[in-house]
Amino acid sequence: MIQSAALEPGEKDDREAIEATSAAQADDQAAAFTQPEAVERRVWRNIFVVIALGLIAASSFAQWNFALGLAIGGALALLNFKWLHSSVKDILSAGASTAPPGTTMMFAARWLVVAIVIYGATLTGLVKPLAMLTGLFAPAIAVVIEAVYVTVKTLIHSGEDKK
């Protein structure tokens, strides 16, 4: 029997197959920027960027003790973020319905270390407490930057789907 060149009802031509492949690749790229590892990497990078920009601004427009306080607060923010990240990762990897023993103690210890360093630095009189508090906000600013990035990227990708 001779097969015709016409498509059967359920088959796609080459153009439709290419469009379907392109759409699948676009979906994969759109989902790639929301992968947890990618988000964590960008937030970690953003924290460094926020602290660096803050230090540049503080050293240009503020007194040296404000810049030093910002550096100490930024360092504490990095330590706190990394410690919190590893604690949450351990809790989630345990897979139990209750948190592993010592979890509450680790959360309290984390803030106790931050409080002791801030108190000690304030007692020296070399740094401004407001600057340390400002440095501690670096992760929050980094998360806001990430939220804006993901929102814009999502809106751009949703606009491509309508075309």
pLDDT bucket at 52, cuts 50 / 70 / 90 = very high
Q: Is residue 68 part of a domain?
A: yes
Q: Reply yes or no on whether the pLDDT at 13 is more than 60.
A: no
Q: Supply 153's token pair.
A: 């990227």
The beta strands (E) that lie in the chain are given as none
- Domain of residue 148, residue span: 32-162
Q: Is residue 117 part of a domain?
A: yes
Number of domains in the chain: 1
pTM: 0.73
* pLDDT of the residue at 1: 47
Q: Is residue 16 part of a domain?
A: no
Do 135 and 70 contact (CB within 8 A), yes or no? yes
Do 157 and 50 contact (CB within 8 A), yes or no? no
